[in-house]
Amino acid sequence: MPPEKAELRYGEQVIELPVIEGSQSERAVDISNLRAETGLVTLDPGYANTGSCESNITFIDGEQGILHYRGYPIEALAEHCGFLEVSYLLVNGRLPNRAELDEFTHSIRNHTMIHEDFRLFFRALPKDAHPMAACSAMVSALATFYPDSLDPRDPTEVEISIHRLLAKLPTIAAYAYKHSIGQPFMYPENSLSYVGNFLRLMFATPCEDFVVDPVVEKAVDLLLILHADHEQNCSTSTVRIVGSSHVNLFAAISAGINALWGPRHGGANQEVIAMLRAIADEGLTGREFVERAKSRDDTSRLMGFGHRVYKNFDPRAKIIKKAAFDVLERLGIHSRLLEIAVELEELALKDDYFIKRNLYPNVDFYSGVIYTAIGTPENMFTPNFAIGRLPGWIAQWLEMHEHRHKIGRPRQIYTGATQRAVTKIDER
């Protein structure tokens, strides 16, 4: 069947634009030649209607609440795989066999330490530095310690920088936390799992042995899987556009960490807990807060609700909500915050304001309840999100480099002053 075409009529001109169809029947008008043929550019603030690339990595159906990584439903990956297995899938395009996973795990385990001089960097940071600032700064600084793996076009250098990033981000995040509480940095313990090692780096001290709680280990591993990729979200698009200048991978990932930090994006998980705590501390009812979140006169939003793509349930939110109940029960914890979250969800899902705007719980709505229950400090929620999203950022960056690609450089419509003459300063 011949490829579909779209017609654009502009003035006397009628042009045909190719329509491309993806493997899941998504369709896009290819406007690559629009300006050359018509002199027109498109305008789409926030890119709500604009695709930046074709990708084989993650598929989201926002209407159906579907999320697949490399064709595998998120529910199946969450149930049957571990985070490093999913990381291998995202980066390599297929699930590893046992030998491949063992080799990948071994390599990651042997890159978890950071250069001893790195500790000096942390010492220079204020105690109350947000760990996301530390993570983006230290990831960018990896380029200074590893000048041997900066060329984005050299497969060997790319592979070593990928393994270094996957291995070292948990160490860097944990050190940012330890610095903020004035505790000594722990060295990685490579006999532990990826998550077990991270938990030990976060919560162990040299004063006593640390035993990894398997319930906590599994909960964090699940959360990392659920955060691992999400097509062209704000931080991933940042990694791609920064990477399109052919800067090294460390710099592109550092930019992604900064984008993720924002409260509208990955920073929302921390904002959700702050919201739940405020409701509890102020003795607000769920209805009172929901009314605030709806009011244009109030800047409050129901954090953890709404999504650019999901206009139905975020499938990750469903999995995390179930895991929250499971983890709290197994840890024997009663969470007032979870009770408030459930009440807010029930109220919002029946409220016309949220229904009309297709606002549902997203990945951030319940994740903070789990992080809080396992002792993760609130300013470490988003660094946890970054550790989870890292393999997705890497996979998307790799995919961009696998194809011929232009440097990312959007157009604009200029609406400012037309040409003016410079007058002498004494005449202004």
Minimum distance of ligand SDX from residue 393's CB (angstroms): 10
Residue 65 and residue 345: Cα distance in Å, rounded?
17
3 contact partners, CB below 8 Å, separation of at least 6 = 18, 19, 20
The residues that bridge with 15 in the sheet, in sequence order, are: 8
Phi first, then psi, for residue 385 (nearest 5°) are -60, -45
Angle 75-79-80 (CA atoms, 0-180°, nearest 5)? 120
Of the residues 179, 230, 307, 314, which is catalytic? 307
Of the residues 364, 401, 403, 426, which is catalytic? 364
Minimum distance of ligand SDX from residue 84's CB (angstroms): 20
Minimum distance of ligand SDX from residue 76's CB (angstroms): 18
Residue 87 and residue 304: Cα distance in Å, rounded?
25
- Report the residue number, 84 or 320, with the smaller CB distance to ligand SDX: 320
Q: Give the total residue count for the chain.
A: 428
Residue 335 and residue 329: Cα distance in Å, rounded?
10
Minimum distance of ligand SDX from residue 14's CB (angstroms): 33
- Report the residue number, 112 or 372, with the smaller CB distance to ligand SDX: 372
- Report the residue number, 335 or 396, with the smaller CB distance to ligand SDX: 396
Query: Nearest-CA neighbor of 360 among 344, 337, 371, 381?
Result: 344
DSSP 175: H
- Report the residue number, 193 or 235, with the smaller CB distance to ligand SDX: 235
- Report the residue number, 46 or 126, with the smaller CB distance to ligand SDX: 46
Residue 297 and residue 142: Cα distance in Å, rounded?
45
- Report the residue number, 163 or 389, with the smaller CB distance to ligand SDX: 389
Residues that bind ligand SDX (CB under 6 A): 46, 230, 233, 264-266, 268, 293, 301-309, 357, 359, 362-364
Residue 77 and residue 169: Cα distance in Å, rounded?
22
Residue 409 and residue 249: Cα distance in Å, rounded?
19
Q: Which two tokens stand for residue 220?
A: 């964090």
Cα 121 to Cα 18, 65, 126, 137, 172, distances in angstroms: 52, 43, 11, 9, 11
Cα 27 to Cα 3, 20, 24, 235, 409, distances in angstroms: 11, 6, 9, 24, 23
Phi first, then psi, for residue 405 (nearest 5°) are -145, 145
Cα 307 to Cα 303, 317, 364, distances in angstroms: 11, 12, 10
Q: Which residue is closest to ligand SDX by CB?
A: 306
- Catalytic residue at 352? no
- Catalytic residue at 364? yes
Minimum distance of ligand SDX from residue 260's CB (angstroms): 8
Minimum distance of ligand SDX from residue 237's CB (angstroms): 9
- Report the residue number, 236 or 248, with the smaller CB distance to ligand SDX: 236
Catalytic residue list: 307, 364
